[in-house]
A and B are shown apart, each in its own frame.
Chain A
Amino acid sequence: MSGLLTGLFEAFATTLREMFRKPVTIQYPEEKKPLSARARWRIVLTRDPEGEERCVACYLCSAVCPVSCISMQSADRGDGRRYPEWFRINFGRCILCGMCEEACPTLAIQLTPDYEFCKYKALDMVYEKEDLLIDGTGKDREYNFYKHAGIGVVNPKGKNPDEYGPVDIRSNMP
């Protein structure tokens, strides 16, 4: 009986005490939680330091995407550079896993900390290339894929800083 009464009293005291505490709620549109350093949300396509598109339309992101929300059509620019003719991400399906970013050999596709991109219509969640492509370089400011690739687009073949020249297969005898 006394256990019951103290139990009751403690319970009532607890709720009364909590009533005077500041609520823990974060009132979202006015207050926002600080994002973590590596928060990853909306996906963008970045450019290299020279302002050219980084994406070479290799389809790796599209292949690795677990929900198949990335699609594109590759094309050739004529000077050896490849680019996506169109590039489409359906954010209605995207689970923001970041595997496309990991798969990308040219650091073109990147996840940004912008998480407020809800839409009223499902079709508005489909982002085309012009919605995805940004002017900046994103995370890796110095990186230009063609300066390491060695196919002679930026510099002639074999003249990139970390490259040897082409091997003459006739003289390269054991």
Chain B
Amino acid sequence: MNSCAPWLIIIIKAFLILFVTLTLAAYMVLAERKLLARMQDRYGPNRVGPFGLLQPLADVIKLITKEDILPTQADKFIYLIAPGVVAGTVLLTFAVVPFGAPVKIDGVTVQMPVIDLNVGALYFLAMSSLGVYGVALAGWSSGSKYSLFGGIRGSAQMISYELSMGLALVPAVMLAGSFSLNDIVAAQSRVPFVVYSPLAFAIFLISVAAESRRIPFDLAEAENELVAGYHTEYSGMRFGLFYIGEYVNIIVLSALAVTFYLGGWHGPGPLWLSFFWFFLKAAVIAFFFIWMRATLPRLRYDQLMHLGWKFLVPLSLANVLLTGFLALMFHWRNV
């Protein structure tokens, strides 16, 4: 029965991923609140359900039933679609992530990413660039100065750090000889790229933290300066979309850090364990982001720009040269 149409498989995978990532994002919120609380010697949410496990559900119900306020000063159309841009681009990024080994169903090999683009890495960069629009437009269309400041800061920050993030991906692409995420994972079947280029991995992690607009890079929100930055005026489920976007973003960026540098779904044991290995690695990275939030204070705007332009970008450029040189010297791959 090989009549299973490819588009059907794609649709099924897309819905599965949508469902799983949204659920994971909701529980990511809970995990972050719990871990942050623990790091601050508190308990965190523990009232709804056992250990507070139903808290995300309660949060969603609250967000949906809240009033959706439209400020009179707002540019209505843009104001209404901006949250969708933020959440949508982040969710779309997940389309190229190979989160497990290929599975054989009825003799048909099903690749795990929804679409195995041959320019997957570029697609990811494009999507994260588009995500800037969500922040910038939300800040601009709200018609409030706090939002505008947040939007400006957000776009400046994300454009700056996109550069070092893109350059930090170059070693991985060089070593794999391909932009396809499937090929990049396949090239790491024995040794993950973090061994070859730990510096690129570190730069990627820092840039990704900036890209997800979280502490210590949450200048776009900056509660104690800008109320809530670009989403000050949003309420109800539109605010919820920004929130979901932020947490799906953490999951996606953790997944990509795993894909590019930690060997993707490769791990010991049988192939069906690959999902578990991928999840575990991504969870470790996600935990690191939460840990970082509990630890570091927010950077000042000039410090942020300083770190991005004067430190990370030159360093990642040098790293590209270094990795290329070493790869040629030691024949790490047929570069």
In the complex the two chains form, what is the Cα distance from A125 to B46 in whole Å? 30
In the complex the two chains form, what is the Cα distance from A139 to B284 in whole Å? 60
Q: Which of B3-57 contact A (CB under 8 A)?
A: 35, 37-43, 46
- A172 on the B face (CB < 8 A): no
> Is A23 touching B42 in the complex (CB atoms < 8 A)?
yes
- A35 on the B face (CB < 8 A): no
Q: Mark A1-44, 1 if CB is under 8 A from B, else 0.
A: 00000001001101110110111110100000000000000000
In the complex the two chains form, what is the Cα distance from A7 to B40 in whole Å? 19
> Is A15 touching B291 in the complex (CB atoms < 8 A)?
yes
Q: Mark B178-213, 1 if CB is under 8 A from A, else 0.
A: 000000000000000000000000000000000000
Main secondary structure of the interface of B (DSSP, over half): helix
> Is A18 touching B296 in the complex (CB atoms < 8 A)?
no
> Is A19 touching B39 in the complex (CB atoms < 8 A)?
yes
> Is A24 touching B295 in the complex (CB atoms < 8 A)?
no
A22 contact set on B, CB distance < 8 A: 41
Q: Which residue of B lies closest to A10 (CB)?
A: B295
B interface residue count range (under 10 / 10 to 19 / 20 to 34 / 35 or more): 10 to 19
- Residues of A in contact (CB 8 Å), total 14
Smallest CB separation, A74 vs chain B (Å): 49
Task: Known contacts A11-B295, A11-B296, A12-B295; decide if A18 and B42 are in contact (CB<8 Å).
Answer: no
In the complex the two chains form, what is the Cα distance from A8 to B292 in whole Å? 10
- B294 on the A face (CB < 8 A): yes
The tally of CB-CB contacts under 8 A between chains A and B is 34
> Is A19 touching B38 in the complex (CB atoms < 8 A)?
yes
Q: Which residue of A lies closest to B293 (CB)?
A: A15
> Is A12 touching B291 in the complex (CB atoms < 8 A)?
yes
A15 contact set on B, CB distance < 8 A: 39, 291, 294-295
> Is B291 touching A25 in the complex (CB atoms < 8 A)?
no
A18 contact set on B, CB distance < 8 A: 38-41
B39 contact set on A, CB distance < 8 A: 15-16, 18-19
Smallest CB separation, B50 vs chain A (Å): 15
In the complex the two chains form, what is the Cα distance from A118 to B287 in whole Å? 40
In the complex the two chains form, what is the Cα distance from A16 to B292 in whole Å? 10
Sample of 10 A–B contacts (CB below 8 Å): A11-B295, A11-B296, A12-B291, A16-B39, A16-B291, A19-B39, A21-B41, A22-B41, A23-B37, A24-B42
> Is A19 touching B295 in the complex (CB atoms < 8 A)?
no
Smallest CB separation, B273 vs chain A (Å): 28
Closest 8 A/B residue pairs (Cβ) = A15-B39, A15-B295, A19-B38, A15-B294, A11-B295, A19-B39, A24-B41, A23-B41
Q: Which residue of B lies closest to A14 (CB)?
A: B295
Partner of B42, one of A8, A14, A16, A25: A25
A23 contact set on B, CB distance < 8 A: 37-38, 41-43
Q: Mark B252-284, 1 if CB is under 8 A from A, else 0.
A: 000000000000000000000000000000000
B292 contact set on A, CB distance < 8 A: 12
In the complex the two chains form, what is the Cα distance from A8 to B296 in whole Å? 8
Q: Mark B133-154, 1 if CB is under 8 A from A, else 0.
A: 0000000000000000000000
In the complex the two chains form, what is the Cα distance from A111 to B96 in whole Å? 68
Smallest CB separation, A26 vs chain B (Å): 10
In the complex the two chains form, what is the Cα distance from A169 to B46 in whole Å? 77
